[in-house]
Amino acid sequence: MEQINIVQFSPSQHGHLIPAIVQMHIDCIEFDGALLRFHPPFTAEKRQKMESFWNERFSQISTGRRITLLALVSPDGKEEGDVAGIVELGMPDADTGPFRGDVELLMVSPNFRRRGLANKLIKELEDIAREKKRTLLVSAEMPMPNIDGLRVRLLSIAESYMCAATRNGRWLHG
């Protein structure tokens, strides 16, 4: 039976998954037509640039400035599983915002959609944000509000709110 695990990315434990994260990133861009920091064509050089991008983000984990969650799907629950989704909590080190958390790069692979992974990732991220006393969650890059068919959902955390948006039943990623 298929098992979904939401885990905190650890460079030492999960570094070998970076190529799979890059491939999921590419799949989301190609499937959704979203830019998500990069655009086609995805040459070997562009893939290397994307790996560097992710390595840079993951280097912020050890400094406490970022938490990355992965959704891993395993067909039998015994192995690590395939990378199915990702979301990040950026935690800026600023005197003016020690309570703020930035929700960044929520992506679910087109191969694993319609299974509630985005909701599971966001719920886990909210729980971690609460533990870290990051009670104001903001989306780093909200989509334009005049997109046809856009529906905005408010997700509460403590007494603050974060916006998440879908269009035609699909998450719009930040």
One-character DSSP codes across 23-55: HHHHHHHHHH---TT--S---HHHHHHHHHHHH
In this structure, the number of other CB atoms found within 10 A of the CB of residue 134 comes to 25
In this structure, the number of other CB atoms found within 10 A of the CB of residue 78 comes to 8
DSSP 8-state class, residue 3: E
Query: pTM for this one?
Result: 0.80
Q: Where are the beta strands (DSSP E) in the chain?
A: 3-8, 66-74, 82-90, 100-108, 136-139, 150-157, 160-167, 170-171
Domains of the chain and any CATH numbers: 3-165 (3.40.630.30)
Question: In the numeric block, which tokens belong to residue 6?
Answer: 């939401």
Strand partners, 165: 152
Position 170 scores a pLDDT of 52
Q: What is the pLDDT along the chain (174 residues), one digit of tens a residue?
A: 789 999 999 999 999 999 999 999 999 999 988 888 999 999 999 999 999 999 999 999 999 999 999 999 998 877 788 999 999 999 988 887 788 888 999 999 999 999 999 999 999 999 999 999 988 877 655 443 333 343 444 343 433 333 444 445 554 443
Position 97 scores a pLDDT of 79
Question: In the numeric block, which tokens belong to residue 112?
Answer: 């694993």
